[in-house]
Chains A and B, each alone.
Chain A
């Protein structure tokens, strides 16, 4: 993909608007959130892949975010699901810090869904959609 066809950088806010272990949510569709953990900034999809919950309201610790509803956990760097009941990863997005400002670039390629059943998510909404091949979980 050339630089010309890529999506533009979006300004999220000032660094100090995202304190350590907190997140700032962007109302894109679907929403994404920028997290700060150990001084580093990360951008991932905001909605937990288990059920529906805004991970900006989650618990951030050691580069991971935990969903308070049923305690699924995601790696902020890779988006990987680290703890059940979620098993599908979060989409990750580029982050750039420019001076005191934070920017993100949200690109959604093709299908970033992990195929197949979701053994950990017993009877979850996400699991059902996957099993039926009914399309993207979140998109």
Chain B
């Protein structure tokens, strides 16, 4: 087994790169990180009516998320208890029942086994169907339309798990009166990299943007004068980064909600609904919290870029990206089209920014095939000792510049606590005393 203290020293910002390659570490993550955390499952609008379902994954485990007749949601492992076949082989749809295609065991929408073919003849009526339903996801939580689930009965309540991250999440989830809707269907692609590169970057990394995305920025903003203005703005308002409970959020402070990357048709809708947005989440938050985010471990979004994704791990060296474009539900068609077009251009599988990011992660993973490469130590020390609390009245640990790796260290802190097998009460206790110490130091 691995020794977590040799893998990461989060408080020092030191990373042993074998955490991105070691199969044992990966198996440990499935058991200790993914099976114990709250994972994003589906958005309300994907489950429009009774029987609506999607198949998604909790790490490597396929789960069915199903709207019940009474409007509630249930989720269960998409695995038949007879011999392990997938109960449902469709990605999404509307069902009245699910039938395993192997031998025909039948399940209702709640995931209860309701029919076993030839029950009298083959089983001599001796099977207790109530005992042979698929494993249920025991805890689900719907946060403003975002449905999360966890296998762990002892995990903190969802709100406590998010902690101060709720305030940053709500800059998206609570932004509009009519809520959000997704462009139908997830866009899925595979990147040959460890899941933590993606999750960490969306939690903590604004630093890569000027370098990694230089060509994309030039392509999008042809006029050097406009680019110069952007850069001046960013220098004048240095942005912020939040970190807590393994989550992270980072953003540049903006003078206005527009211009957005989606262009004039969407901007017009935003301007027309500016008061609504300010009323719901406050002007300060609406202008500030517009950037990159990760809810630990693998749910990420870019608030004003209208894109969110889950990084499903597929072994130590691969991820399946499931990405969605979200839209204000009641935006007009032109505004919606503008968002769709800009998301395709920027953060789809072939988007100009997306491909820059994936390229870096794949390269790192390639280099880590080397023996010497895996013996090094990575530097996640940016901004170490410059953490702050309550900057600008924002909740939690918030730095006074978006260029820092505080949230990366926070993510590896949570990762290390889970990986070392600490119980949830122990983790919560340690977090609390750490926070207290830090808060005292930061406010002193």
B98–chain A nearest beta-carbon distance, Å: 8
User: B119 to A69, Cβ gap below 8 A?
Assistant: no
Known: A53-B97, A53-B115, A57-B97. A69 touches B106 (CB 8 A): yes
B154-174: CB near A (< 8 Å → 1, else 0) gives 000000000000000000000
Task: Tell whether, in the assembled complex, residue A125 and residue B119 are in contact, meaning their CB atoms are under 8 Å apart.
Answer: yes
Contact of B126 with A by CB under 8 A: no
Interface of A is mostly: loop
Q: Which residues of B contact A52 (CB under 8 A)?
A: 114-115
Interface membership of B121, Cβ < 8 A: yes
Within the complex, which residue of B96, B106, B114, B118 is in contact with A125, where a contact is CB–CB below 8 Å? B118
CB of A31 closer than 8 Å to a CB of B: no
Question: What residues on A are CB-neighbors of B117 within 8 Å?
Answer: 51, 70, 123-125
Does A8 reach chain B (CB closer than 8 Å)? no
- Cβ of B271 under 8 Å from chain A: no
Task: Give the contacts of A91-134 with B (CB-CB under 8 A).
Answer: 123-125, 128
Which residues on B sit within 8 Å (CB–CB) of A59?
A: 96
Q: Is the CB of A53 within 8 A of B121?
A: no
CA distance A19 to B96 in the complex (A): 16
List the A residue with the shortest CB-CB distance to B121: A128
Q: Which residues of A contact B121 (CB under 8 A)?
A: 123, 125, 128
The digit string for A54-75, where 1 denotes a CB below 8 A from any CB of B, is 0001110000000011100000
Q: How large is the interface on A (under 10, 10 to 19, 20 to 34, 35 or more residues)?
A: 10 to 19
Selected contact of B96 from candidates A57, A70, A123, CB within 8 Å? A57
Residue of A nearest to B95 (CB): A68
Q: Is B17 an interface residue (CB 8 A)?
A: no
B97 / chain A contacts, CB cutoff of 8 Å: 53, 57, 68-69
In the bound complex, how far is the Cα of B99 from the Cα of A69, in angstroms?
6
Contacting residues, chain B, for A70 (C-beta < 8 A): 99, 104, 106, 117
A57–B96 Cα distance when bound, in Å, is 6
A52 to B120, CA, bound (A): 12
Cα separation A123 to B118 with both chains bound (whole Å): 7
CA distance A68 to B114 in the complex (A): 12
Contact status of A68 and B115, CB under 8 A, knowing A51-B106, A125-B120, A128-B120: no
CB nearest to B105 among chain A residues: A69
A-contact bits for B97-123, CB 8 A (1 contact / 0 none): 101000010101000001101111110
Q: Taking the nearest CB of chain A, how far is it from the CB of B89, in angstroms?
A: 14
- Expressed in whole angstroms, the Cα–Cα distance for A70 and B117 within the complex equals 10
Which of B96, B104, B120, B122 is close to A68, meaning CB atoms less than 8 Å apart? B96
Contacts of A53 in B (CB 8 A): 97, 106, 114-115
A69 / chain B contacts, CB cutoff of 8 Å: 97, 99, 104, 106, 115
| Across-interface contacts of B99 in A (CB, < 8 A) | 68-70
The distance in angstroms between the C-alpha atoms of A49 and B318, with both chains bound, is 48
Chain A proximity of B99: nearest CB distance (Å): 5
| CB-defined contacts of B95 to chain A, threshold 8 Å | 68
Measured between beta carbons, the chain B residues less than 8 angstroms from A123 are 117-118, 121-122
Within 8 A of B (CB), among A5-37: none
Residues in chain A within 8 A of chain B (CB atoms): 51-53, 57-59, 68-70, 123-125, 128
18 examples of A-B residue contacts, CB within 8 angstroms:
A51-B106, A51-B115, A51-B117, A51-B119, A52-B115, A53-B97, A53-B115, A58-B96, A59-B96, A70-B104, A70-B106, A70-B117, A123-B118, A123-B122, A125-B119, A128-B118, A128-B120, A128-B121
Give 12 A-B pairs besides A51-B117, A68-B97, A125-B119 with Cβ atoms closer than 8 angstroms.
A51-B106, A52-B115, A53-B114, A57-B96, A59-B96, A68-B96, A68-B99, A69-B97, A69-B106, A124-B118, A125-B120, A128-B118
